[in-house]
Each structure stands twice: as C-alpha cells, then as structure tokens.
Structure 1
Amino acid sequence: MITTTTSTRRHKLNRNTARNGGIFKPNTNSKAVEELYAIMDVVADRAEMHKNIGAQRDNWNHLLLTSINGMTATAAMMAGLAAMSGVGATLLALKLSSTLLYVSVTGVLMVMNRIQPSQLAEEQRNASRLFKQLHEEIKTTIALRNLTMNDVNETTEKVLALDRAYPLPLIGTMLDKFPKNVEPAVWWPQQLKTQQEKFGDRKVKKNGWNKNLEEEMKGVVGVLKRKDSAEYLRLSKMALKLNKILAICGPLLTGLAAVGSAFVGVPWHGSWAVVLGVTFGALATVVNTLEHGGQVGMVFEMYRSSAGFFKLMEETIESTLKGREADRRENGEVFETEVALKLGRKATEEFASKLF
C-alpha cells in the first residue's frame, strides 16, 4: 500500500513537472512542491475568473449608461410634447409616461452610482493582472529555490491577501466606493518577510551590496513617500470628490425632472414644470455621461492602485534593508535592477517613476 501511494505521488509530481516546463528539482521538499503546484492551479483559475467578471462589469457600465441616457432623453421629449398637447388623455398619457421613466431612471441611477461598474471592472482587471503575476512568481520560486513549507505558507498568505483586496461578490464584501479616508490599495500580506527570513543563514561573499547602494535605496524610499505616494493619493482624493458630486447630482436632477413632468399642464405651475422636466433631464444626461462615460470611478481606483504599488515598493525596500547582514539578503545588483525596472528609472531625483 505504501509503495502504491509513493508511486502515485511520484507520478503526480512528474505530471505536474512536465505540465509546468520541467522546473521540479529532485532535492526539493516534494510535499511543498506538490502544494505549490496546487496553489498555482488555484491562482490561474482566480486570474481567469477576475478577467471574465471584469469584462462582464465593464459591459454593465456601457449597457446601463446607454439605457439610462436613452430613457432620460425619451422622458424629456415626452415632457416637452405634453406641454404642447393641450389638455385631455394625450396630456395625461405623456405626463405619466415621462414621470414613470424619470422615476425609473432615478432608481437605476442610485444603484449604479452605489456599485460604480467602471470601478468594479478596474478592480477585477487589477486582480487578474496580480494573480497572473503571482502565478509566474510561484513558477520562478520553484525553479530557483529549494522549497520548504514556509514558501507554501507565504504563498497562501499572498493569495488570501489578494482575495481580501479584490473580492468577487458584490453583496457583503464589495469595497466601499466612497470611503471617508482614501488609503492606498493593499493586496499583499501586512507583514512582509525580511530578506534574512527568506534566505535564512545562507552566506554569500560579495553579495552585490555596498554602502552606496544602501544609501541609494533609502533615497528611493524617501522619494516614494514624499512625491509618488503623496501625488497619487492627492489625485485619488480629487477623483473621489468629483465622483461624489456627480453621483449625487445625477439622481437629484432626474428626481426633480420627474416632479416637473408630473406638474406639466397644471395652470399655476405649468411653465416651470416644463422647464424642470426638460432642462433638468438634459442636464442629468450630461452629468451621467461625465460620471459613467468618463469612468470617474475607474480613474479613482487606478490612482488608488498606483499609490498601493508605490507603498508596496517602499515596504519591499525597507524589509530588504532590515536584514542587516548583506550576505543574507537578495543579491544587491539583482535587487537594484528589479527596483529600477519597476519604477522606470534608477535616479532618486524628481519622481521615482516615469512609467506611472
């Protein structure tokens, strides 16, 4: 029985190795490799799910905006026609139709402004990209390192952190679209492992670190905090403020237009009612197009995620420098290249990034 189980496990590992490009190393903990391959499958599935749901929610945004603008324009035209129809059944029919359309638009808008489909789509696009990145990171880890269960636990924490940062369901777990305090997006475990914890007691002479490189990395952290993170948080707050104003104005205008259309033809308020029913309907179309056609919610999420990226870079560099002994860190030259590529430049003047 033991021989059969061992043979089955070996067959499974060989199959996984062939499927993932032959990156399994015989001297590695077989249980850790097997579990990491299982996590890789889960991560790949998550990336595909977020990609598909992101496309669906992007369609929501376009379809709902088109429907709302069409209904609003129709209601405004009916209100105008009702004012010219005189009295009788025609006036009543046009008034009721216009009012019902405006009330329906107001209800749909309140829901749409609450969930912000364009922002939801951006969240899923970010999640899909980050899960794909994690998938490649796992493959690299298996290829280059002798694995332990600590690698499995660390990878599991990363998956769970991504699930918390970008939830799939809407009810109960949806991110607050209008937070009181704007914070950078966080999709990684709160406590990053230091380089000494990752590399253990392994010592390598001339590991690429020197005093100048350490000072340069500290300078990069300072620039990230003073300029990049602060700038993208400022832009996030501006986008959020604009989105709040538009989200309030849209339903307010259609609600007032509904009241106006209901009073079309009334002797004392007829003229003002037509102005409300037609003009406010036109203004609501403009506001809704700016908010959802301009995807202001998506812009807010993009800036928030960019601020999160710079925060992650800060924490990554700081956790690396915490390992006081340079020979227990990741190779300094490799680390410097990674930071330069991610930020788009090596110098510490101006902004740390020219790509974002």
Structure 2
Amino acid sequence: MATLQASGIMGSSSSSSSYYDRREGIIRATLNVPRRMTDISLPGLRTKGIVEELELHNFTDRKLSPIDVNTFKRNDNSGPDPLVIAKLYAILEAVADRVEMHKNIGEQRNNWNSLLLTSINTLTLAAATMTGISATSAIGGGAPAAALKLSSTVMYLSATGMLSIMNKIQPSQLAEEQRNAARLFKQLHNQIETIIAMGNPTTNDVKEMMEKVLALDKAYPLPLLGAMLEKFPANVDPAVWWPEQRRRQARGLDGKKGWNGWNGKLEEEMREIIGVIRKKDKADYLRLGRKALKLNKFLAISGPVLTGLAALGSAFVGSPDHGSWAVVLGVVAGALASVVNTFEHGWQVGMVFEMYRSNAGFFKLMEESMESNLVENDMERRENGELFEMKVALKLGRSLSQLRDLAASSGKAEEEIEEFASKLF
C-alpha cells in the first residue's frame, strides 16, 4: 500500500523529494513550500490506498463493468453469437439444396406431362384408326379383322388406365407447385443472407427461419404417395406456405424508441389497402380458381369415360346386332377422347388452377402481414413503418404515391371500387 505524507513548511525555497522503503513497500514523498506561504494551511490529505479508491468508484463491481479485471476480456454481448451464425448457415445450405431439388423435380414432372400426353393421344388415335379398319375388314371376315379389333380394344383400355392415373396426379399442376416452391425457397434464401449481412442475429431468427422451411415443405411436398396435395378439393382455398404470424421481437432499425415510422395516417392507409386486397384481388383469384377447378374436374372425368366407351365399341365391331353403333362409338369416342385429353393437359388446366390458388395465397399473406403489424400495440415490435410501406408498394407494383392514392380513393368511394390493388397480376 502506498501512503502519501505531507510535512510542514521547510526551507526558504520550494522543493520535493521521495524515496522507496523496500521492507514496507511504501513510497514516501516530502513536499516543501516557501516560508512566505506559511499563512496558507494545507488540508489533511486522505491516506486511503489505491484499492480503497477503486472500491469507492465501484470498479471492482464485475457485474456492472464491461471489463473483466482478472482476464482483461470484455463481458458484453455486442458481437454476433458464433453458434447462431453457424445455425443460420446450416439452414441456408438446406434451403439451397431444396431449391435444386424442387427445380429438378419440377422439370421432371413437366416432362411427365408432355410424354404422357403424347403417348396417350398416340394410343387413342391409333386405336380409333384400327377400329375403323377392322370394321371395313369385318365384311369379308377372317382373322385379320379379329386381330385389329382385339388390338384396338387393348389400346383403348391401356389409354383409359394411363389417362386415369394422369388425371389423378395432374403433372402440369405438380410442375407448377415445384416452380412455386423453388421461387419461395430462393426468396427465403435471400432473407437469411440479409439477416446474416445485417449482423447480430438472434435465436429467434433461427427459430423463425426453421419454421418457414418446415411450412414450405408442408405446403409443397416432394413425394406423391401419401403426401401429394389434393388436386380436386371440395373448397378452393388460398395456398398457405408460411407459419403462423407471431409476435415480433423488438428490434428497431436505428435503436431509438418511438413510433418506429408509424402514424395514424399510415395505419389508416394500410387498413384501406387490406380492404381492397380482400374484396378485389384475393376474391377474384379465388373465383377464377373455382372455375378452373370445375373445368378440370369435367375434363378429368370425360377423358377416361370416352376412352372406355371407345374400348367397348371396338369390342363389338363386326357383331351382326351391334355393328353400326359399335363402329361409330369406337371411332368417334376415341377421337373425342384425344380432343379432351389435349385440351386438359395440353393447355395445362391443372397448372392454371394452381396458379390462381397461389396468387390468392400471395394476397392472403400480404393481408395477414399488414394485420399483424396493425394489431401490435407495441410500436417497437412492428416492422419499421416507412420500410413496410415501401415493401407493400413494391409487391403491388406501385409507387408510394400510387399506393397512397389507392388508399385514398378506396376510402372515399361510396360504391364498389373497380381498381385492383395489384398491378403485377
């Protein structure tokens, strides 16, 4: 412990001296001042040691200090957690792999649609031709007519079975599902990269990204058996590929507390846009989706029925009692089946239905996102208002001024608004 001693006034000139006592470890100092300053008195100097002085300043309170005096390392958590970063990169790799999987499988199922359509139409038209030839050959009778008749019947039955399977799985719709999944996984991939680039991610970010991956896996499954989406649902609902909207973590962009970019005008603007999306955009795509589903159901049933009737007709070709109608049924039903099959799978009606359903889901997601921000009373837990408004405008294909004009016109209009919220699709 060091001790500071002050002596009285010594000598006629000011001077100072000091020495070190090895045995006691004490530094002793002497301070001399001029005699003419004898009328000045020095207050008593405190003789507490350095350690006591540090205790008075609370420097030894390790809980409050960001510096560990023993290890000289910082105890604050201002930097990113390496484990959280590692988990996000693991999710990033899984998402990138899923993008490739959905892309490859989407191409494969699109090839299914083309190959099955070509094969079934070839079988059907060949069977119709053989039915007609067997009818003309049946006049003379003999083995050739029977062989043609049997071959056409077998080909019709094969086409009926293949067409039933094709109409059940809807390859064009499957391909559209995989295209949507690849696009959404790419979007999620970019979101994770943004979180890492902005710095200081948390365990909540890891949990949120995991939930989004699992929600996408459930919405767009890869296997067919046991997991395939219903291709002819009783009700047409928007596609849902996101987890349940939960309360956000408080994290402002600038670290300042306040209204976080929100005000009463912006809240009212978002409410008006929600109304337009719900009444116009989402409702219109659900209406179109119901029409596409009804058409697809009709075509999916008509194709196998026509090829089945054609097979029945070809089996009775040459019969004395049913010869005339059997030929007509075997040839005409086969030709109509080719037309129906081409219209359904060549024009990809199933893909159109899935596109409408996915577009309705896009607007449902926007609606839920805006509502989740509006119902949150803690402004710091909302997404930044200015940033959120810009995102909404970009998703709808509008500028900020156009977005505000849409909200203003929908709020003042007494009759049904004619303008859709989205200008993209």
- Give the TM-score taking structure 1 as reference length: 0.90
CA-to-partner distance for each residue in 1:62-103, whole Å, 9 max, x for gaps? 000000011100000000001111211011011001000000
Cα distance in 2 for partners of 1:43, 1:344 equals 27
CA-to-partner distance for each residue in 1:170-202, whole Å, 9 max, x for gaps? 00000000011111000000x21334x353896
- Which residue pairs with 1:71 in the alignment? 123
Classify 1:271/1:355 alpha carbon distance in 2 versus 1 (closer, same or farther; 3 Å).
same
Once the two structures are TM-superposed, the CA of residue 257 in structure 1 deviates from its matched residue by 0.2
- Which residue pairs with 1:354 in the alignment? 423
- Which residue pairs with 1:192 in the alignment? 245
User: After superposition, where does 1:133-212 map in structure 2 within 5 Å?
Assistant: 133-189=187-243, 191-195=244-248, 197=249, 199=251, 203-205=256-258, 207-212=260-265
Report how many aligned residue pairs link the two structures. 330
Cα distance in 1 for partners of 2:363, 2:232 equals 22
RMSD, matched Cα: 1.6
CA-to-partner distance for each residue in 1:176-233, whole Å, 9 max, x for gaps? 00011111000000x21334x3538964346322111110001111111111111111
Report if aligned partners of 1:194, 1:320 keep a CA contact under 8 Å in 2.
no
What secondary structure sits across from 1:223 in the alignment? Answer: helix
In structure 2, give the amino acid aligned to 1:286.
V
Once the two structures are TM-superposed, the CA of residue 148 in structure 1 deviates from its matched residue by 1.2
- Give the TM-score taking structure 2 as reference length: 0.75
Identity of aligned residues (%): 66
Cα distance in 2 for partners of 1:307, 1:45 equals 27
CA-to-partner distance for each residue in 1:1-26, whole Å, 9 max, x for gaps? xxxxxxxxxxxxxxxxxxxxxxxx98
Structure of greater Rg:
2
Classify 1:28/1:291 alpha carbon distance in 2 versus 1 (closer, same or farther; 3 Å).
same
What secondary structure sits across from 1:236 in the alignment? Answer: helix
Does 1:255 pair with 2:308?
Answer: yes
- Which residue pairs with 1:338 in the alignment? 391
Classify 1:198/1:243 alpha carbon distance in 2 versus 1 (closer, same or farther; 3 Å).
farther
Does 1:60 pair with 2:112?
Answer: yes
- Which residue pairs with 1:44 in the alignment? 96
Higher relative contact order (CA 8 A, sep 6+): 1
Report if aligned partners of 1:182, 1:236 keep a CA contact under 8 Å in 2.
yes
Higher helix share: 1
What secondary structure sits across from 2:230 in the alignment? Answer: coil
In structure 2, give the amino acid aligned to 1:79.
T
- Which residue pairs with 1:121 in the alignment? 175
Cα distance in 2 for partners of 1:309, 1:271 equals 55
Uncovered stretches (5+) of structure 1, i.e. residues with no partner: 1-24
In structure 1, give the amino acid aligned to 2:110.
D
What secondary structure sits across from 1:199 in the alignment? Answer: coil
Classify 1:169/1:156 alpha carbon distance in 2 versus 1 (closer, same or farther; 3 Å).
same
Cα distance in 2 for partners of 1:333, 1:179 equals 40
Cα distance in 2 for partners of 1:162, 1:203 equals 34
CA-to-partner distance for each residue in 1:16-58, whole Å, 9 max, x for gaps? xxxxxxxxx9811111110000000000000100000000000
What secondary structure sits across from 1:344 in the alignment? Answer: coil
Cα distance in 1 for partners of 2:81, 2:368 equals 29
Cα distance in 2 for partners of 1:114, 1:28 equals 50
Q: Aligned to 1:100, which of 136, 154, 162?
A: 154
Uncovered stretches (5+) of structure 2, i.e. residues with no partner: 1-76, 411-418
Once the two structures are TM-superposed, the CA of residue 327 in structure 1 deviates from its matched residue by 4.2
